[in-house]
Amino acid sequence: MRLRRWGTTLILLLTSTALPATLSAGPAMAAAPGPAHHPPRPLPLARLFDNTAVGDNSAPGAADFDGAGRSLSAQDLAAAGWTPGRALTIDATRLTWPRTAAGTPDNLRADGQSVAVRGRGEALTFLVAGTGGAASGTGTVRYRDGSRGSYELTAPDWLSGPLSTKAVALPHVNGADDGPVGPARLYAVSVPLRAEREVASVVLPKAPETGARLHVFAVSVRDGGRGRTGSWAASTAGYRAVGPWTDRTLRLVVHSGAGGPRARIRIANTFAAAPVGIGAASIAVRGAGATADGEPVPLTFGRGRTGTRIPAGAEAVSDPAPFTVPAGTDLLVSIHLPGTVTAAPVHQEAAQLSYLSADGSGDRTGDAEGGGYPETMTFWPFLTGVDVDGGPGSIVALGDSITDGVKSTGGANRRWPDVLARRFQAQSALPRYGVLNHGISANRIVTDRYQGDGVSTDTGGVSAQHRLERDVLAQPSVRTVVVFEGVNDVRWGTPAEEVVAGLRALARRAHERGLRVVVATIAPCEGYRGCTPEMEARRQAVNAFVRGNAGTVFDAALDFDAVLRDPQRPQRMLPAYDSGDHLHPGDAGLQALGDAVDLRALVPGRRG
């Protein structure tokens, strides 16, 4: 891999745009100690609070977040599960909502203060919002070895920032005398760190003389998953109505890639407006159907608790359990939902049957037999990952329906990332990486399908720009990202130059976190709706850019177009690889894609 300067671009923890207002490039991270001077003594963030954002609905005048008498509703925050002192895990960073009562100072207006922060990781995450517009500025990270680095932090506006990138949205704004205002937004934003160095403190950006103000509620170093490898993953593609499910247990079938001696799961409440209760969870090797091969191993959450409650927009990570995950094996992950669930974050196109217990049947996570699971479903709710201890780390496939495995044989694990995972596990010349499939059917690079808030039937996800942080940068020990997207953009009229700009932005942001970036050309689709001659011209323009920038903008390129196209008619897929709809490869085409990848091209430190 080329040596790179450590970037200081701000990334929205839940998202960002191709070149968004919330994304700015700053100077490189300094590697050497700076000149001798005496900065302010770092203090815990809570000791520096100088603004009150949260007010009780019965006394809204006790808080004034924006200088116009408006504030967040304590009741709305409680309804979302964001109660005082609540730990919030958002994209692998554990943040703590201020331990303050409504009407008392709960955030800091950034103005060069020095904040005590400890930890070692790949990113530093701020829980922030801007008032008076998007607020930004340059700050400094100080490391324990005396070195420092600068970063640029931008907080979207709490009333007008993008919903697709928010950590949580709240329905009301207190003190809005000029009519209804809302929803209010809070954002989790991350900036890159030198992972090998321990953070000692953070100097916040200076306040501008006029204009928007940047408010900080919490800051913490992200757990980058060191010492773990992702074995299985799926992206949250939308927030859809379910059930209602009352006191039921989900038994989700997932297929491991990498194996390991201990396992943990990740459960996400992404896009939600309310918390969800988890009563219990377990993991097992699958026998047949919903039956486990042996007794399921119970999972716990934080100091041995059997269950947890996940606030809106947050996630829960189980404690590592003494369960050996075999490579390339179906697993059963069972999750008990003790309350009533009417909507859930889902990955819609699972290409796999999973199981559901009867209404009111209670906790069946410990059942070895499958008889207690009479219902089936073809999507994955809540579950977003299975990680194992040890291993060399993870490769993420960021893509659309072709990566998601649409039109592949259900339950057979024939998606091209499955092929890639099996190839890595079957060899010994290179590290045996885990391969994480973060494809979403109908997903785009530039624009959102799902708008990122509220119950919706659209499960095409927010754009690749808006989910890069969650689905790539926050994955455990991620080393390389393979981007295979763009056909939905060009089919729906997005100009080629906008798709190219989106690919450049994805590559830049991933490089700033030290990842290897590999991009695949867009496959042909003549015969599918929207695949017109005009669309073909856009596809060819994007592909020319990808092929021409391997080793410059990207570390390597995969020519998936060349693998799938018909030599006699290059704008269409080879019939032997076509599932029949002319857009999605069938099993043979997906196998060809997985087999065509030079594994060495995905290994960090290699060129071409």
Whether 231 is covered by a domain: the verdict is no
CATH number, residue 454: 3.40.50.1110
CA–CA separation, 354 vs 90, rounded Å?
Answer: 26
Q: Are 263 and 207 contained in the same domain?
A: no
Q: Are 102 and 20 contained in the same domain?
A: yes
Q: Give me the chain's average pLDDT, please.
A: 93
Whether 227 is covered by a domain: the verdict is no
- Residue 223 confidence (pLDDT): 84
Whether 228 is covered by a domain: the verdict is no
Q: Are 578 and 447 contained in the same domain?
A: yes
- Give the residue-averaged pLDDT of 303-326: 96
- Give the residue-averaged pLDDT of 217-244: 95
pLDDT band with cut points at 50, 70 and 90 for residue 12: very low
Question: Which long-range CB contacts under 8 A does 67-70 form with residues at least 24 apart?
Answer: 67/131, 67/132, 67/213, 68/175, 69/175, 69/177, 70/173, 70/174, 70/175, 70/176, 70/181
- Residue 30 confidence (pLDDT): 40
Q: Are 301 and 175 contained in the same domain?
A: no
Residue of 602, 172, 165 whose CA lies nearest to 424? 602
Query: Helix, strand or coil for residue 532?
Result: coil
User: Which of 129-133, 220-224, 292-296, 396-400 is least confident?
Assistant: 220-224
- Residue 478 confidence (pLDDT): 97
Boundary (domain end) residue, out of 221, 252, 274: 221
Q: Are 187 and 108 contained in the same domain?
A: yes
305: alpha, beta or left? (left if phi > 0; alpha if psi -120 to 50) = beta
CA–CA separation, 555 vs 548, rounded Å?
Answer: 12
Whether 316 is covered by a domain: the verdict is yes
- Residue 83 confidence (pLDDT): 98
- Residue 182 confidence (pLDDT): 77
**SS3 labels along 259-282:** CECCEEEEEECCCCCCCEEECEEE
- Total number of domains constituting the chain: 3
Q: Are 400 and 381 contained in the same domain?
A: no
Boundary (domain end) residue, out of 327, 358, 385: 385
Residue of 1, 11, 393 whose CA lies nearest to 193? 11
Summarised one tens digit per residue, pLDDT across range 324-356 is: 999 999 999 999 999 999 999 999 999 999 999
Summarised one tens digit per residue, pLDDT across range 488-503 is: 999 999 999 999 999 9
Summarised one tens digit per residue, pLDDT across range 19-69 is: 333 333 333 344 444 444 556 799 999 999 999 999 999 998 899 999 999
Percent of the chain whose predicted confidence (pLDDT) is above 90: 89
CA–CA separation, 494 vs 62, rounded Å?
Answer: 47
Whether 603 is covered by a domain: the verdict is yes
Summarised one tens digit per residue, pLDDT across range 247-284 is: 999 999 999 999 999 999 999 999 999 999 999 999 99
Strand 315-317 and strand 478-484: the pairing is unpaired
Domain of residue 496: give its range.
392-608
Whether 181 is covered by a domain: the verdict is yes
Whether 363 is covered by a domain: the verdict is yes
- Residue 60 confidence (pLDDT): 87
Whether 6 is covered by a domain: the verdict is no
Q: Are 79 and 191 contained in the same domain?
A: yes
Q: Are 55 and 161 contained in the same domain?
A: yes
pLDDT band with cut points at 50, 70 and 90 for residue 171: very high
- Residue 5 confidence (pLDDT): 35
Q: What letter would DSSP give residue 553? A: T
- C-alpha angle with apex 592: 590 to 597, nearest 5 degrees? 105
- Give the residue-averaged pLDDT of 524-550: 97
Question: Do 322 and 389 contact (CB within 8 A), yes or no?
Answer: no
Residue of 105, 104, 124 whose CA lies nearest to 48? 105
**Tokens at residue 190, please?**
């991350």
Q: Are 487 and 560 contained in the same domain?
A: yes
Boundary (domain end) residue, out of 368, 385, 402: 385
- Residue 203 confidence (pLDDT): 98
Q: Are 460 and 373 contained in the same domain?
A: no
Q: Are 381 and 296 contained in the same domain?
A: yes
- Give the residue-averaged pLDDT of 370-389: 98
CA–CA separation, 309 vs 272, rounded Å?
Answer: 13
Q: Are 250 and 346 contained in the same domain?
A: yes
Q: Where are the beta strands (DSSP E) in 238-382?
A: 238-255, 263-268, 276-278, 280-285, 297-299, 308-310, 315-317, 330-347, 354-356, 375-377, 380-381
Summarised one tens digit per residue, pLDDT across range 102-117 is: 999 999 999 999 999 9
- Residue 26 confidence (pLDDT): 35
Residue 298 burial class via C-beta count within 10 angstroms: exposed 0-12, middle 13-18, buried 19 and up: middle
